[in-house]
A and B are shown apart, each in its own frame.
Chain A
Amino acid sequence: MSDTLIFSMEVFLNGLMAGVLYALVALGFVLIYKASGIFNYAQGVMALFAALTLVGIMDGQVPFSHLINAALGTDIHHFGWHVPAFIGIILSMGVMVILAWIVQKVIFRHLVGQEPIILFMATIGLAYFMEGLGDIMWGSDIKKLDVGLPQGINIAIDEVTYGIFGYGFFIDNLDIVATVIAALLVGVLVIFSQYTKQGRAMRAVADDHQAALSVGINLNFIWVMVWSVAGFVALVAGIMWGTKSGVQFSLSLIALKALPVLMLGGFTSIPGAIVGGLIIGVGEKLFEFLVGPMIGGATENWFAYVLALIFLVFRPQGLFGEKIIERV
């Protein structure tokens, strides 16, 4: 077997793993978009904010410590305790639920029935606000996040592939864990939306607001719930990215990578978000490996966007999106 083919297989697998993370962020977009028609530009920042909060809670950081110190002349930074990862995650989730409630109460409750572009602008404002809030609460330095997920090369895969190809594949344990968790998350979301009362109400709201009201569904409650679920997805994505490359503010930029994912998969499809994420992940890695050297490299920066552009021209509803039929 040629070397190129073997390397391509390794790149392909790594691409799949990277794609899972794109898919996780895209999933958060799809959830909110389906239920409320809001394209939530702040989804990436939510992942950042969730990760910052988790690190802050686990390290026992005092929130707003800079602000408090500046105002009161004190010098406090840490409570001096360390919170176990599991409890930290639960507390962070609590923060995301409160955030969801505030977002609904303060912003979107007052924008019901507005043009999509206005809702979109509001989420841009929300994104910058949350980035600033994260900075003031927890500080802007790059933080290390360790919730106990395994990291480093997977020895078993390395040995098996060495036995077969004479070349050991490098697959990061963290990527494998991320894939498993993402699969579980999607499974839980599907079960939730298909088989629970709240899930049924959520699908109803996603489908028709007026009809949902007429059968007695409290729209505000459902929207808080959806933002909370999206917050949870953001937390999971934040943990994965944060563990991989540290919790830093560039994390919010992954939101931009989720855009081409959504254009591929369709804005309204959960399976679309997953498949779209995988295609972009694999596509950009393979393209960089196979074609990159011929055209000077650095193709990962633009490949996803060009692919999205091609999709916009030939299949604007994405792979799985609802077909746009205009009645005349």
Chain B
Amino acid sequence: MLDQTEGYVTADGRKIGGVVMDMRNITLRFGGVEAIKNISFDIREGEIRAIIGPNGAGKSSMLNVISGFYVPQEGEVWFHGAKRPQMKPYQVAQQGIARTFQNIALFEGMTVLDNVMTGRLNNMKTNLLQQAFWRGAAEREEVENREICEKVIDFLEIQHIRKTPVSRLPYGLKKRVELARALASEPKLLLLDEPMAGMNVEEKEDMSRFILSVNDEFGTTIALIEHDMGVVMDLSDRVVVMDYGKKIGDGTPDEVRNNQDVIDAYLGVSHD
């Protein structure tokens, strides 16, 4: 079993640090429906953490709790060793938690570059007056932020569409632009809601490669939701399994794969 205080070393030799995000006894209700029932789990620095489960298990709800879009009725969210007070989604984002959405939420009317630049809004400190006169600080800041964005754009191999309005892009590329926007903010924690939903095999491979290299290159802590079991098992260091709002498994991909509850609930039938 994993060491709960000190971190661990993964099978491929990456060192995982202390707890970044700690969800304690989270319960979320919509009216009479309990979408999340008393779930606790943590996310450690530098790891790729997956949340899996059948449709309606409450995975997206959990991600929405982490990113502040939903407020749980019970439970505590601890971020970087401090209990997080109730926050608006934009405040959570300002704390360094970036996310993507299941149904892509991009600024369709803007170019790819502009979209990625919005990811840096919170890192820009100059005020309107400085910007109005466009001198010194404001200009330097724009250039610095632009450079970071260009780096991310290069990294995700979307240079060729930098100036294209997002509305004209195919689905797979939109997903990548959304990831670029989230990455541009240099997040402490990156949340991906079904990054590979609706993609073909080739696109899935590309996306998996990007997720791995983001984690590897920038050391970004990533929590993701995914349906594709094969992908999840390959990508993630630890997996939380949810079913009907309850946590039914938590551990390394191997542990989860051999967990009888998980096999029963999620896979339905066991396969060899």
A207 contacts which chain B residues (CB < 8 A)? Answer: 107-110
Our pick among A206, A210, A215, A218 for the contact of B185 (Cβ within 8 Å) is A215
List of A residues within 8 angstroms of B110 by Cβ = 203-204, 207
- C-beta contact mask, B54-81 vs A, less than 8 Å → 1, else 0? 0000000000000101000000000000
B94 at the interface (CB under 8 A from A): yes
Given contacts A197-B121, A200-B114, A201-B118, contact A211 B107 (CB under 8 A): yes
Task: Summarize A's interface: helix, strand, loop or mixed.
Answer: helix
B128 within 8 A of A: yes
Is A197 within 8 A of B101, CB to CB? no
Q: Mark B178-196, 1 if CB is under 8 A from A, else 0.
A: 0001100100000000000
Which chain B residues (157-198) contact chain A, with CB distance < 8 Å? 181-182, 185
A127 to chain B, nearest CB (A): 29
Residue among A196, A198, A218 with most chain B CB within 10 A: A196
Number of A-B contacts (CB under 8 A): 78
Q: A213-B89, A216-B121 are in contact. Are A208 and B108 (CB under 8 A)?
A: yes
Contact residues in A for B122 (Cβ distance below 8 Å):
215-216
List B residues 100-137 near A (Cβ within 8 Å): 101, 105-110, 114, 117-119, 121-122, 124, 126, 128, 131-132, 134
* Interfacial chain B residues near A211, Cβ < 8 Å: 101, 105-107
Interface membership of chain A positions 236-248, coded 1 if the CB is closer than 8 angstroms to chain B and 0 otherwise: 0000000000000
Residues from chain B with a CB closer than 8 A to the CB of A208 are: 105-108
Chain B interface residue count: which class? 20 to 34
* Contact B128–A200 (Cβ < 8 Å): no
Q: Determine how close the nearest CB of chain A comes to the CB of B143; give it in whole angstroms.
A: 13
> A residues within 8 A CB of B108?
207-208
Q: Is A214's CB within 8 Å of the partner chain B? A: yes
Minimum CB distance partner of B134 in chain A: A195
Residues on A with C-beta less than 8 A from B185 are 215-216
* A214–B101 CB distance below 8 A: yes
**A103: Cβ under 8 A from any B Cβ:** no
Does chain B have a CB within 8 A of A122? Answer: no
B98 interface hit (Cβ, 8 Å): yes
Q: A214-B98, A214-B99, A216-B93 are in contact. Are A203 and B107 (CB under 8 A)?
A: yes
Residues of A participating in the B interface, judged by any CB pair closer than 8 Å = 195-198, 200-201, 203-204, 206-208, 210-219
11 A–B contacts, CB within 8 A, in A order: A203-B114, A204-B121, A207-B108, A210-B69, A213-B88, A214-B67, A215-B93, A215-B119, A215-B185, A216-B91, A216-B93
Partner-A contacts on B (CB < 8 A): 67, 69, 88-91, 93-94, 98-99, 101, 105-110, 114, 117-119, 121-122, 124, 126, 128, 131-132, 134, 181-182, 185
Q: A211-B105, A215-B121 are in contact. List 4 more A-B contacts (CB 8 A).
A: A207-B107, A212-B118, A214-B101, A215-B98
